[in-house]
Structure 1
Amino acid sequence: MSDTKLPGGLEMTTFKLEKGKTYQDFIEANADVETWLKKQPGFRSRYIARQPDGTIIDALVWDSETDGTNAMHRLMKELADSPVHDVIDQRTVSWNIYPVYHQI
């Protein structure tokens, strides 16, 4: 396995939804986030999945770890009033960004 980093960063966030909120509520509450993401430097793509226990997996691909980290900090300030925050159980959020070492 190579220790050489490739260009790119993989952001992985997992969380549960607030009680009474559905996966569809979460998707709909993301409209402003998705518009905002498309304008961020280094943004490549986003994938949202759901585990059988209801945990949401929100994966983003960035040009670099720095791009992803900077965007996360801006999102919390610039979209502080986004409806998406009311759908997420904030106590369950786990956010990480990782360097990319292999890609095909």
Structure 2
Amino acid sequence: MSPKNGTVTDWLARQPGFLSRHLGAREDGSWVDVVRWQSLEQAQAAAQRIMAEIGDCEAMQAIEPASVSMSHAAIALSG
């Protein structure tokens, strides 16, 4: 993981309901960031706060806003 992502991971770890973060690179150079939460409400609350709290960090500034697609899904299988 890039050192600049440490700020994001540290912030996530302090959020209520945070379970885990999995960051993966795709062949086309894009990234998939899967963050697991105890509840949808906790995930949505964190999503509403993240830019105000750490939006100026290097990792967040490196993201092209138009490239972001955020969605939520229930876990069907975990192993």
TM (norm. structure 1) is: 0.67
Higher relative contact order by CA 8 Å / sep ≥ 6: 1 or 2? Answer: 1
Deviation at 1:101, TM superposition (A): 4.2
Q: Describe the superposition over 1:21-47 as per-residue Cα deviations: whole angstroms up to 9, x where unpaired.
A: xxx6xx222121111111111000000
Say if 2:21 and 2:35, in contact at 8 Å, map to a contact too. yes
Q: How many residues align?
A: 79
> 1:86 maps to what in 2?
61
Give aligned-pair identity as a percent. Answer: 29
Counterpart residue type for residue 90 of structure 1: P
Q: Which among 39, 45, 51 is matched to residue 70 of structure 1?
A: 45
Deviation at 1:87, TM superposition (A): 1.4
- CA distance in structure 2 between the aligned counterparts of 1:76 and 1:33, rounded to whole angstroms: 10
Task: Give the structure with the higher percent strand.
Answer: 1
- CA distance in structure 2 between the aligned counterparts of 1:103 and 1:93, rounded to whole angstroms: 25
- Aligned Cα root-mean-square deviation (Å): 1.6
Task: Give the structure with the higher percent helix.
Answer: 2
Say if 2:54 and 2:60, in contact at 8 Å, map to a contact too. no
> 2:32 maps to what in 1?
57
Equivalences for 1:14-29 in 2 at 5 Å?
Answer: 27-29=2-4
Counterpart residue type for residue 49 of structure 1: G
